[in-house]
Amino acid sequence: MKLSYKLYPFQVNSENQKSIGDIIILHGLFGSSKNWVTVGKYLSNFGSVYTLDQRNHGESPHTNEHSIKLMSEDLEEFLSDHQIKEPILLGHSMGGLVAMYFDFTHPGFLKELIIQDIAPRSYPFAYDKEIQAMSFPLDGFSSRNGIDAEMAKYLPDTFIRQFLQMSLERMDSGEYRWKLNVAGLNQARRVFEDVFSEIVSSKTKTLFLIGGNSEYISKDDLDLIEKKFSNLLIKTIPGGGHYIHFTHQKEYLEILREDLSLIS
């Protein structure tokens, strides 16, 4: 599948500055490249940055098939089409699962793997409220405020509603639509199950960025991560949750700066 993407070209700030290579960013479930504008612009100080819309998200095509394996194959096709070799791959949540799967199935291909707040294991599809908040008909709504008020009946969390509404588009007709394939994602409820085998492991240079208060990472997950990745650095942002690239952006970018500054 041909994925939509946003490119942030390498920003040369000094004569002696060299690119560390291409950086690919994979968003999480219900996200898109729009969630990564600030991070993408910042990382372009190190190399050219591609923020991808994964299948059924953003401007990329919709399909009834949605799995970590297929998204990894989409990524492989993108890298081949753009002749990108030895990229740095950053993945958040669902994007992190795709990134780890790609690394496990393409040993030695990545220059570095950066995973945000997800572990290489199965996760339940615990997003009924999000699906319900995007499943009512949008006919007759003339404003985002009206849609938000209706969404709040299903999803009280204002932050998550605002996150979802980054995929809400007003068409030329004045009507609204979801760029997300809501029905397709609702049918893919096993997308996070049985992705990784017990025997896979990685020697790739790997950085895990974890929110200190995240519900997605347990102590057992930390033990699992240490077993799976032999060239590993784990950084925890105190007080952070699942969206530390947004809620704790200063600390998040500083960790990335320190890490990428060591790459030649």
Are 97 and 248 contacting, i.e. CB atoms less than 8 angstroms apart? Answer: no
Q: What is the mean pLDDT of the chain?
A: 96
pLDDT in tens, 139-165: 989 999 999 999 999 999 999 999 999
Q: What's the whole-number mean pLDDT along residues 72-95? A: 98
pLDDT of 199 > 90? The answer is: no
Handedness of CA 35, 41, 45, 47 (dihedral sign): positive
pTM value surpassing 0.75: yes
Are 59 and 52 contacting, i.e. CB atoms less than 8 angstroms apart? Answer: no
Phi, psi angle pair for 126, to nearest 5°? -105, 55
Confidence of residue 198 (pLDDT cuts 50, 70, 90): confident
Number of neighbours of residue 39 by Cβ within 10 angstroms: 22
Domain ranges of the chain: 5-122+191-260, 128-187
What angle (nearest 5°) sits at the alpha carbon of residue 208, between those of residues 206 and 212? 165
Assigned token pair, 254: 């500083």
Percentage helix, strand, coil, to 5, in the chain?
Answer: 35, 15, 50
DSSP state of 217: -
Q: Which CATH number is 5-122+191-260's, of 3.30.530.20, 3.40.50.1820, 3.30.200.20, 3.30.70.141?
A: 3.40.50.1820
